[in-house]
Amino acid sequence: MEAIILTIITAATPLLLAAMGELVVERSGVLNLGVEGMMVVGAVCGFGAAYASGSVTLGILAGIAGGMIIALLFAIMTQTFLSNQVATGLALTLLGLGVSGLIGESFVGVPGVKLGQIYIPLLTDLPYVGRILFGQDILVYGSVALMMATSYVLFKTRTGLVIRAVGGNHHSAHALGYNVIAVRYAAILFGGACAGLAGAYLSLAYTPQWVENMTAGRGWIALALVVFASWMPVRIMIGAYLFGTIWILGLVVQAMGYGIPSQLLSSLPYLVTIAALVIISGNRTLTKINSPAMIGQPFVPDR
């Protein structure tokens, strides 16, 4: 049971990281469907940098940088040139998948550098809960800290108020003197950094190797998580661990040999995602409670 819980935590962490970044992006009124592309570029950049340097820290930083580069392209196209956000996000996802496959071609089959777990004397050795609570890698704790920090900034600080104001009514925010485009640029880059970090986690901690398209749709699940959680940070964390549990339970059931087709078990997270979105979309009140009013709408200053 302990091994299953540990695996669930590692499966949920990249979902939580990517979804928290997308939450901030959408709270600013921008819809970036390129999370999958940013994650896979972060994964290959993180793996490549760690393999070349032998340093996991440099791998993490490279993953963040890779995600931010794709996010910057998205920001330039949607905020400066006012291209359609949905089409641009989809295009950059395809670009990310292609670029990562090209960059990572020479990394296939190469052993990677693994991000190690933290060891705290006495605490990590505690029975039952020691490894679960005190023996995780730094990014697991970092993902929880990111959730708490994002929640605090969004709802307890002036910066968060500005982000939500821009996402709620960008014309009013502009009239009050806030630079809507600059706020959205910053939010998009933050989202790219989180997605790139999530990708680096996959190639440095979850499975320390490079496999083409190793994100396997996690970026799309992270996007769904934001809606599933009605744009609230704590609910995103709960949703990430729920989806991580479903992901791992499918593998556990498959390993037990119950005769259920492996293809069906592998599709469980995506089936649950679709079901959750259908249920949520049927409840318009729930959808409108925290949904940013300006999401997906371009801003053109009138003065």
Q: Are 138 and 10 in contact (CB under 8 A)?
A: no
What is the C-alpha to C-alpha distance for residues 179 and 93, in angstroms, rounded to an integer? Answer: 28
Structure-token match 């890779």, residue found: 66
In this prediction, residue 164 carries a pLDDT of: 95
What is the full per-residue pLDDT of the chain (303 aa) written as tens digits? 778 888 999 999 999 999 999 999 999 999 999 999 999 999 999 999 999 999 999 999 999 999 999 999 999 999 999 999 999 999 999 999 999 999 999 899 898 899 989 988 888 888 888 888 889 999 999 999 999 999 999 999 999 999 999 999 999 999 999 999 999 999 999 999 999 999 999 999 999 999 999 998 999 999 999 988 889 999 999 999 988 888 888 777 777 767 777 677 677 777 877 787 777 666 666 666 778 999 999 998 875
Instruction: Name the β-bridge partners of 101.
Output: none
In this prediction, residue 281 carries a pLDDT of: 65
What is the C-alpha to C-alpha distance for residues 76 and 185, in angstroms, rounded to an integer? Answer: 8
Neighbouring residues of 32: CB distance < 8 A, sequence distance ≥ 6: 22, 25, 26, 71, 74, 85, 89, 188, 191
The set of long-range contacts for 225-230, using a CB threshold of 8 Å and a minimum separation of 24, is 225/15, 225/19, 226/19, 226/22, 226/23, 226/26, 227/277, 227/280, 227/287, 228/273, 228/276, 228/277, 228/280, 229/19, 229/23, 230/280, 230/286, 230/287, 230/289, 230/290, 230/291
DSSP annotation of 297 reads: -
Rounded to an integer, what is the distance from CA 46 to the centroid of its chain?
15
Neighbouring residues of 18: CB distance < 8 A, sequence distance ≥ 6: 35, 38, 39, 194, 195, 198, 218, 219, 222
Which residue stretches of the chain are H helix?
2-27, 35-53, 56-75, 85-103, 130-134, 138-156, 158-168, 170-175, 180-201, 218-228, 233-255, 262-266, 268-281, 284-290
Q: Are 210 and 107 in contact (CB under 8 A)?
A: yes
In this prediction, residue 200 carries a pLDDT of: 97
Q: Domains of the chain: which residue ranges?
A: 2-215
Q: 242, 199, 198, 190: which is closest to 100 by C-alpha?
A: 199
pTM of the model: 0.93
Tokens of 148: 């708490």
DSSP annotation of 118 reads: P
Q: Are 232 and 226 in contact (CB under 8 A)?
A: no
Using CA of residue 109, residue 110, residue 115, residue 121, what is the dihedral sign? positive
In this prediction, residue 294 carries a pLDDT of: 92
Instruction: Name the β-bridge partners of 117.
Output: 137
What is the C-alpha to C-alpha distance for residues 21 and 14, in angstroms, rounded to an integer? Answer: 11
Diameter over CA atoms, the chain = 66
